[in-house]
């Protein structure tokens, strides 16, 4: 699957739920979409459910990540990569997160991405989303 197709399908599924949108956008925005590219290469690794059926609104297929079933500790990743995934799981699935552990694993770009995701989850979409 192409990463752009998967991202469009994840966005279509998350549309209208700020926390879900924020989780998807965090994965898309960090490190040039690292987690989206990785998920596109192996849907099972990130517990992605992809449907070729278009949504009712348009002709975009739908995809969702089972945030609660996804276990970031079982995925080979650096501490920064894992931190982004842990925070996305918290936003998307309501899991508790230790921000102290996560944020100390991130550089400034990662912290900026997390900050934008938190603002988005609070109801303020960034321009273009």
Q: Give pLDDT tens digits for 80-112.
A: 999 999 999 999 999 999 999 999 999 999 999
55 pLDDT tier (thresholds 50, 70, 90):
low
Domain ranges for the chain, please list them: 3-121
76 pLDDT tier (thresholds 50, 70, 90):
very high
**pLDDT value, residue 125:** 86
Dihedral Cα 125, 102, 37, 60, nearest 10 deg: -30
Which residue in the block uniquely carries the two structure tokens 């989206």? Answer: 36
> Mean pLDDT across the stretch 63-85?
94
- In terms of phi and psi (left: phi > 0; alpha: psi -120 to 50; beta: otherwise), the region of 25 is alpha
CB count, 10 Å around CB of 32?
A: 9
Distance, in Å, from the CA atom of 26 to the CA atom of 40, rounded to the nearest integer, reads 16
Q: Is the CB of residue 68 less than 8 Å from the CB of residue 29? A: no
Alpha helices, DSSP H only, in 3-121?
3-14, 18-29, 34-41, 79-93, 99-103, 108-121
Provide the strand spans (E) within 75-124.
none
């Amino acid at each position: 699957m192409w990463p752009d197709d998967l991202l469009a399908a994840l966005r279509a599924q998350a549309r209208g739920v700020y926390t879900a949108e924020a989780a998807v956008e965090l994965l898309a925005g960090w490190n040039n979409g690292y987690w989206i590219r990785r998920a596109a290469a192996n849907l099972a690794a990130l517990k992605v459910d992809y449907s070729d059926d278009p949504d009712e609104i348009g002709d975009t297929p739908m995809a969702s990540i089972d945030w609660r079933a996804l276990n970031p500790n079982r995925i080979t990743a650096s501490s920064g990569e894992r931190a982004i995934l842990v925070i996305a799981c918290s936003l998307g699935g309501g899991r508790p997160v230790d921000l102290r552990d996560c944020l100390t694993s991130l550089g400034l770009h990662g912290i900026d991405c997390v900050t934008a995701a938190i603002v988005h989850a609070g109801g303020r979409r960034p321009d273009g989303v």
